[in-house]
Amino acid sequence: MLRRPFFWIIALVIAAFAGLPAIGNDVELRESLVLACVYITLASNLNLMLGYAGYINFGSIVFFGLGGYICVWLIYSHDWPLVWSLLAAGAGVSGLALVFGLGILRLRGAFFALSTIGIVEGVQAFAENFTPWGGSSGIYISPQVFLPLGGSARALWVIYFALVATMGASLYLSYFVKTSKFGLGLLAIGQNEDAAAILGVPTPRYKALAYSASAFLPAIAGGLYFFKSAFIQPSDAFDLTLSTEAIVICMLGGQGTVTGVALGAFLYEQLRGYLLTSSTFANFQLTIAGVLLLLIVLFFPAGLMGFIYSRVPAAKKVLE
């Protein structure tokens, strides 16, 4: 494994993310990279279901939001330290995903996609009614919680590095799964589920495992993100737009590829950030995003990686 160049490429990316803002104490760069980390984490984990197994999960945001809620609530109501809250969030959400998954993974194609939408909307509606979680007002954390981490300014850096680590773990997870027997099974399911089952792939178990695994890291990312924001409310935590953007990113970069998804997430975030802050485009950023996406879907369905592979076939040997 250590001999494969791609392993080191991922390591390089992680080092760049961690190092670049730290060197110049560049807070602005760090903030924009925070979002890039979140997008890459969400998209890479989504890829396990979407790119490998071919199941469109519109509701991947629910892992992020629930992870955020569990982590923030444990810190706020029960004074748990950050690390344990994060782990509890990750484990809790993965467990819930396994339970939900057993139910909805019996559905195919569009039905599965719809059920994931239903889950997000249902969970959001639940959070808005659930008083221990602040209902629709959400939970506000007092700045005191940053003291154990060395105060606000230092805490933001610690959280950032933790996010980079989570992103790195997502990339490695994506990579290892793809090159493992488990991943092979998932890809077979993605091609033709019935044939895979006949050939001996334990499809229900693999699907449930993939779904549950794809929940763990986004939950932790959610915990970190909302802890950093010191504030969580249902409309932010369960924003369907973020799920949809994760899907778009997978498509943009090339579904089923590790590099593509990471690259796609990074580029997408930069593009959106630019469109958002540019005075010329601010009014039309939705329209432009739509046009771009349409062009890609119509003419470059294999995404960025598909385009790169068709031009530079040798790249296939190095990148995943």
Which residues inside 70-129 make contact with another protein, applying CB under 8 A? 103-104, 106-111, 113-115, 117-119, 121-122, 125-126, 128-129
Residues 43-62 that bind another protein (CB under 8 A): 50, 54, 56
One residue of 157, 231, 300, 307 binding another protein per CB under 8 A: 231
Q: Does 229 bind another protein (CB under 8 A)?
A: yes
Residue number, 32 or 77, with CB nearest to another protein: 32
What separation, in Å, do the N-terminal and C-terminal C-alpha atoms of the chain show? 13
Minimal distance, residue 6 CB to another protein, in Å: 26
Please give the structure tokens belonging to residue 194.
């019935």
Residue number, 88 or 96, with CB nearest to another protein: 96
Determine the interface stretch with another protein among 72-80, 160-168, 177-185, 294-302 (rule: CB under 8 A). 294-302
Instruction: Give the long-range contacts of residues 174-182, CB within 8 A, separation 24 or more.
Output: 174/44, 174/45, 174/47, 174/48, 174/258, 174/261, 175/6, 175/7, 175/10, 175/258, 175/320, 176/1, 177/48, 177/52, 177/210, 177/213, 178/52, 178/258, 178/320, 179/320, 182/206, 182/209
CA distance 84 to 71: 9
CA distance 34 to 161: 9
Minimal distance, residue 184 CB to another protein, in Å: 20
Minimal distance, residue 71 CB to another protein, in Å: 16
Residues 134-193 that bind another protein (CB under 8 A): 135-138, 140, 142-144, 152-153, 156
> By three-state DSSP, how is residue 144 classified?
helix
The contact pattern for another protein, residues 246-285, with x = CB under 8 A and - = no contact, is -xx--x---------------------x--xx----xxxx
CA 70, 71, 72: angle at the middle one, nearest 5? Answer: 95
